[in-house]
A = this chain, B = another copy of it.
Amino acid sequence: MHDLHEMAAAARAAYLTLASADASARNRALLAMADALLSEKDMIFAENAVDVRLAQEGRLAAPLLKRLAFGEEKLNSVVQGLRDLAALPDPLGHTTLARELTEGLNLYRVTCPIGVIGVIFESRPDALVQIASLALKSGNAVLLKGGSEAARTNLALCNVLRAAAEASGLPADFAQLLTSREEVSEMLREDDLIDLIIPRGSKAFVRYIMDNSRIPVLGHADGICHVYIDASADPEMALRVAVDSKVQNVSVCNAMETLLIHRAIAPTVLPALNEAFAAAHVSLVGDSETVRIIHCAPASEEDWRTEYLDYRLSIRIVDSLDAAIDHINTYGSHHTDCIVTRDDAAASEFLRRVDSAGVYRNVSTRFADGFVYGFGAEVGIATGKIHARGPMGVEGLTTYKYKLLGSGQTMGDVKAGRISYTHRDLEGTCPI
């Protein structure tokens, strides 16, 4: 029924309109979306009930069913999210560089939307509202592909958001829903119309997308997060941070998967950790040193590379801060890694040399999140290094353009020495 190429072209047209809409129009649309979700909630809940019933019949696992369910609590949460987002500063039109190149020739670098973004996300329908609203706030159009279990809920939510945008004078096609895998494959080929793909999923899934598209990809892939307990850690704090990083929610990308412990402190902290993890039903695997101190199964090389997302943890004892940093840079996924230490020099070294989006001192890895960072929500957590890193809010959905305002200058004048560069930084913002 839909033609993906036409959808992408419509998204491009919507983006070009949105890019010229001022902040108040975009914020009004976000508030209208919040109101519309509330007034259409019975319809949305009814559609979700069908999705949930079909999923139960298909014997979807309990944690996935919980993610799929969309009730009052999740509705209120996304409505509040929309209102918070409307209140955040406009990410567009900021002058981030202002420089006189020569007399009467001024260069401005100004933030602007990226364009058309394809986002592939999991079964959680609240993600659709978060992604679409972050896109609208930042002037982008999105093509959305959610989990097929949530098809009815996603369609209901997307239609409500589209109608609210249109009623606010903005193009409905800023958000369009893909409904099949074939459309995803077609989307990956539309590199002339689509500027960015954000796949949320496993490392294998993100790699599949990268291998099948020349559109830039900002991957939200594995989280193999580490906590390193330094020789000079406060043992009580180390226990608290390590346990929270693992057990507060085991199935999320910012949960700890490997615990590294300095040899000097291992005999002090390991028995208490062993007890705490046993109480939380976490099964442990350890390197040969760990196995000598506590009773647990031996870890294999593969364990260091595994994102368990489960009640399972690998433990390794290291000789030094250097060895901990090397382990993380070798086996980690560049997501979020923490050092527990009282030593400022060790903390500084760790934060500088660990090659990850989030480098933490004395705090649970579970804080790696766009809402926690104050970004309103997140489109994903980028584990690559290009464009955006870590939790991506609206800033990650913007780029910039260079505006150069002249009065007839030519390169011929420069080469002939009639004008020369001043490269003087200017105060103020781009006047047009």
Which residues of A are at the interface with B, using a C-beta cutoff of 8 A?
16, 19-20, 99, 101, 105, 107, 114-115, 195-196, 207, 210-211, 214, 216-218, 234, 237, 240-241, 243-244, 248-249, 329, 344, 347-348, 351-353, 355-364, 366-368, 372-374, 384-387, 389-390, 399-412, 415, 421, 423, 432
Contacts and interface: CB of A to CB of B under 8 A. Distances in A.
Nearest to A387: B387
Given A210-B214, A347-B432, A99 B374 contact: yes
A367 to B, nearest CB: 6
A357 B244 contact: no
Given A357-B401, A374-B421, 18 more contacts: A16-B329, A20-B352, A99-B374, A101-B373, A105-B367, A114-B385, A114-B386, A115-B355, A115-B385, A196-B385, A237-B408, A240-B410, A241-B410, A244-B410, A248-B412, A362-B406, A364-B406, A364-B410
A281 to B, nearest CB: 16
19 contacts: A19-B352, A101-B367, A105-B363, A196-B385, A207-B214, A210-B214, A216-B384, A216-B385, A237-B408, A244-B412, A351-B401, A358-B401, A362-B405, A363-B405, A363-B409, A364-B409, A367-B404, A389-B401, A390-B401
Contact of A385 (B217, B356, B399, B411): B399
A401 B356 contact: yes
Contacts of A211: 214
